Amino acid sequence: MTIAGTGYVCRYCRQPSDPSGTACPLCGAPIDVKTLVSRSGWVKQPPIQDMARIQFGQSHVQIEGKQVPTADFSLAAGDSIYFGHHTMLWLDPSTRLQAMSMAGGWKRMIAGLPVIMTQAIGPGHIALSDDHAGEIVALPLNIGQQIWVREHRFLAASGNLTYGFEANNIWITTGTGNDAKTTYPLGYIGDRFSAQNSAALLLLHAPGNTFVRDLAQGESILIQPTALLYRDISVQAHLHIEYPRAQGFFSMFNRFSYRHVWLRLTGPGRVAMQSVFEREEESEQITGISPATEQRW
């Protein structure tokens, strides 16, 4: 993709880039990749090439490996990144580590254990990786850009990227009384990143493959809630429930158990989804729900 007078613009990170190399220096996407677009308009984001380097500030990160890739950071003096402590593989003795102060009662748990947001300060090297197969997605953000990311998809961010979190307010309640159960299809909270004073870099880890799509003003799509990876702040999200007609003798009694829970995303803005996601297991009747649309057929 090119824009007259500005040269090459990467179709994946949407930033002006250098077309002379083999990969975008800002997000690692191959320069000469053939665009793969599904019939529904989704573009498959190519995985970052093995050993590709991505520049941010005076530092860079090298992506190593394919199935479970590693982010190998080379931090210049004074540059920093932050990340969840459980993703660290190794670091140079010269790299300084410290717990990152988080506002708002930040608390995360994985497998019942607390996650500590950690800051690494250069000069030095540090390597990070998630613990399952997938792809590292690089999102360079210009000043003023913001992005919403689903919980537990964050890998690392440059120290100048502002981080916050917010309640998703998307929920479903089944059962009544002591048997009532509330679930959160997107997780209870979502991560929010913004580049306020300078360009910054955000790295995510997505299980499976990543697909990206741009939604026009008022355009909406339905996806599985747990497939959502990230979205522009301008994209609105709420639930959509479909009740297909049940078949068989007992259909009149359990017709509300036959349902499909979708997430409706409405533009304008960019959305990304991952190909590996958790399917809904609940089948009890919905007794309460956050604002949602529904269809019976």
Map out the domains of the chain with their CATH numbers. Answer: 2-296 (3.60.160.10)
pLDDT in single tens digits along all 297 residues of the chain: 443 344 677 877 878 877 777 788 888 887 765 666 666 778 888 888 889 899 998 999 999 998 899 999 999 999 999 998 889 999 999 999 998 877 655 667 666 667 788 999 999 999 999 988 889 999 999 999 999 999 889 999 999 999 988 889 999 998 888 888 999 999 888 999 999 889 999 999 999 889 999 999 999 999 999 999 999 999 999 999 988 775 554 455 455 557 789 999 999 999 999 998 887 766 678 889 999 998 887
232: part of which helix (H) or strand (E)? Answer: strand 228-232
pLDDT at residue 98, rounded to an integer = 92
Q: What is the pTM for the complete model shown?
A: 0.86
Tell me the C-alpha distance between 99 and 106, whole Å: 13
pLDDT at residue 24, rounded to an integer = 83
pLDDT at residue 203, rounded to an integer = 97
Neighbours of 2 (CB within 10 A): 10
Which residues, 6 or more positions from 268, have their beta carbon under 8 angstroms from its beta carbon? 215, 216, 217, 218, 219, 232, 234, 235
pLDDT at residue 29, rounded to an integer = 81
pLDDT at residue 239, rounded to an integer = 95
Tell me the C-alpha distance between 170 and 240, whole Å: 11
Q: Under DSSP, is residue 121 helix (H, G, I), strand (E, B) or coil?
A: strand
Cβ atoms of residues 63 and 55 within 8 Å: no
Tell me the C-alpha distance between 127 and 73, whole Å: 6
pLDDT at residue 282, rounded to an integer = 63
Which residues pair with residue 261 across a beta bridge?
Answer: 241
Counting every residue written for the chain, the total comes to 297
Tell me the C-alpha distance between 30 and 96, whole Å: 33
